[in-house]
């Protein structure tokens, strides 16, 4: 049988490993074809998961829950993608209404949504953080807000220019257009988010982008600014994720899942081994902290391709925190959580229980610092963790054992242990939470 011969060939290779013993758990692996069969229903369920959880209430079976489904649209706010001409006309109407206000003797002020912590809300049904509807007045004719309202007017005028020109700029570019006024980039950055909220559109609609950081490789074809990109033909380096999601489109894939990887070392291993050819998948990483471009790209893949997302992060509080930013959003950009978050990300590994289960040697585990333990305990109080009993159990174990481990700790069993044993076994056992 072809299966057996390819298996024995693999055994032979493993025998060459620098560890003289057989790789732990390798003998539990079934043939790839069997693992692939177990994965297929996953795609089917992922593409219809929202319809099964809310069979009749939602108008369209594939649409995720929204604020209005939960009757929250009056008390919470959310932005949406605007076309450039919509952004342009919103700015123009805003300016018109301010002119009216001035002419009618009511003065010049902006009514800006508050983005303070007290105005944030985690909604379990949506599994993400949203922004409540409190506003703050920013009058020009007041000593405490004259600067901020001037900055707001300036940012609005700059964005209006970007719409006319249809180009993208970075936050740093914005800052440099008037250093004297902004003084410090944090000030123009903050007002930029205010402007997004105020206009009710996403920050990407404003054509202001963050520097790109992420890369993607594997079973994905998409268009970047008109060029068709085949991510199976991107060598080992992969394709840099474009900074502007609005010029990304035409996504096609025959993958069974998306593998979201925290660090680039693990990404490189999987890219070189072309793991996506053995188990059809798309591999994506932001190389650490998730940036806006990678978050938008991941969401777009999940939404358009209807694939399950499995996350491979370090077994420490920051790994889980990173997972949560992809899944539920960050507080700073909660006004745009609907567009930035990817629902239903599964925690594949490295999970605290894996440390014993996969017999990761003591010397490859690291003791958690006081700060780590505090962050872990804080996470246990967060709603998005509490909601998932499996996550609570894992995190409790982490805080109890006071041990953490990086993905790379698997290298103690051989450099390819991750791609040849750990991940295939995880997939075979559908071992995710």
The residues that touch a second copy, with contacts defined as CB under 8 A, are 13, 16-18, 157-158, 161-162, 164-165, 167-170, 172-180, 209, 211-212, 215, 223-229, 233-244, 247-248, 264-265, 268-269, 272-273, 287, 361, 363-364, 406, 408-412, 415-416
In the complex, minimum distance from the CB of residue 114 to a second copy, in angstroms, rounded to a whole number: 29
The 8-class DSSP code of residue 29 comes to P
Measured from the CB of residue 430, what is the shortest distance to a second copy in angstroms?
Answer: 27
Q: Is 230 annotated to bind ligand?
A: no
Active site residues per annotation = 176
Which of 239/351 has CB closer to a second copy?
239
- Residue with Cβ nearer a second copy (119 or 244): 244
Residue 314 is labelled as binding a ligand: yes
Q: How far is CA 24 from CA 352, 360, 366, 417, 431, in A?
A: 18, 10, 21, 9, 17
In the complex, least distance from residue 144 CB atom to a second copy, rounded to whole angstroms: 23
Minimum distance from CB of 70 to a second copy (Å)?
A: 36
In angstroms, how far is CA 359 from the centroid of its own chain?
A: 30
Note whether 337 and 328 are within 8 A (CB): yes
Q: Which residue has the tokens 């609907």?
A: 338
- Whole-angstrom CA distances from 318 to 87, 94, 203, 262, 340 are 36, 41, 26, 10, 19
CA–CA separation, 386 vs 365, rounded Å?
26
Nearest of 413, 313, 423 to residue 364 by alpha carbon: 413
- Report the alpha-carbon distance of residue 51 to residue 42 in Å, rounded: 15
Cβ contact 247:206 at 8 Å = no
> Cβ closer to a second copy: 36 or 234?
234
Q: How far is the CB of 433 from a second copy (least distance, A)?
A: 24
Q: Which residues contact 305 (CB under 8 A, 6 or more apart)?
A: 220, 251, 252, 253, 255, 258, 282
Q: How far is CA 28 from each of CA 23, 214, 224, 417, 430, rounded to the nearest angstrom? A: 11, 34, 41, 14, 14
Minimum CB separation from a second copy for residue 129, in Å? 28
Cα–Cα distances in angstroms (integers) from residue 188 to residues 147, 154, 387, in the given order = 11, 9, 36
Which CB atom, from 46 or from 204, has the smaller least distance to a second copy? Answer: 204
Show the beta-strand stretches assigned E in 262-332. Answer: 281-285, 309-312
In the complex with a second copy, which residue's Cβ is closer, 176 or 390? 176
Q: Which residue has the tokens 């298996």?
A: 7
Q: How far is the CB of 165 from a second copy (least distance, A)?
A: 7
Q: Alpha helix locations (H) across 48-177?
A: 49-53, 84-103, 146-165, 171-176
| Cα separation of the two ends of the chain | 35
Longest distance between any two alpha carbons in the chain, whole Å: 87
Per the annotation, where are the binding residues?
262, 314
Per the annotation, where are the binding residues for Mg(2+)?
262, 314
């Amino acid at each position: 049988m072809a299966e057996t011969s390819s298996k024995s060939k693999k055994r032979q290779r493993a025998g060459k490993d620098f560890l003289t013993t057989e790789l732990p758990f390798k003998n539990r692996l079934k043939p790839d074809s069997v693992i692939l069969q177990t994965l297929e229903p996953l795609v089917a369920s992922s593409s219809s998961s929202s319809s099964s959880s809310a069979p009749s209430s939602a108008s369209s079976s594939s649409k995720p829950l929204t604020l209005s489904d939960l009757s929250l649209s009056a008390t919470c706010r959310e932005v949406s993608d605007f076309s450039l001409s919509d952004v342009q006309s919103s700015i123009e109407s805003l300016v018109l209404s301010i002119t009216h206000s001035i002419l009618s003797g009511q003065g010049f002020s902006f009514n800006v949504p508050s983005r303070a912590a007290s105005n944030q809300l985690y909604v379990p049904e949506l599994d993400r953080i949203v922004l409540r509807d409190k506003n703050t007045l920013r009058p020009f004719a007041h000593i405490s807000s004259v600067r901020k309202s001037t900055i707001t007017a300036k940012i609005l005028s700059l964005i209006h220019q970007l719409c006319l020109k249809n180009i993208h700029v970075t936050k740093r570019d914005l800052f440099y257009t008037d250093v004297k006024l902004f003084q410090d980039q944090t000030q123009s950055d903050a007002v930029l988010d205010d402007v997004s909220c105020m206009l009710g559109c996403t920050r990407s609609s404003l054509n202001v982008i963050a520097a790109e950081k992420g890369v993607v490789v594997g079973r994905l074809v998409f268009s970047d600014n008109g060029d068709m990109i085949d991510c199976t033909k991107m060598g080992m380096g992969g394709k840099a994720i474009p900074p502007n999601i609005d010029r990304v489109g035409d996504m096609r894939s025959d993958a069974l899942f998306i593998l979201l990887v925290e660090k680039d070392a693990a990404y490189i291993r999987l890219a070189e081994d072309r793991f996506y050819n053995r188990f059809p998948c798309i591999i994506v990483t932001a190389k650490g902290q998730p940036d806006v471009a990678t978050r938008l790209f991941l969401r777009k893949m999940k939404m358009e391709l209807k694939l399950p997302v499995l996350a491979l992060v370090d077994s420490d509080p920051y790994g889980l925190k990173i997972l949560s930013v992809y899944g539920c959003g960050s507080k700073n950009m909660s006004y745009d959580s609907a567009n930035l978050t990817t629902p239903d990300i599964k925690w594949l590994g490295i999970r605290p229980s894996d440390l014993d289960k996969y017999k990761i040697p003591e010397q490859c585990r690291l003791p958690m610092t006081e700060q780590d333990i505090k962050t872990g305990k804080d996470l246990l109080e967060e709603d998005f963790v509490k909601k998932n009993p499996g996550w609570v159990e894992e995190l409790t174990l982490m805080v109890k054992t006071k041990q953490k481990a990086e993905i790379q700790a698997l290298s103690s069993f051989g450099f390819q242990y991750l791609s040849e044993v750990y991940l295939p076994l995880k997939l075979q056992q559908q071992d995710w939470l």
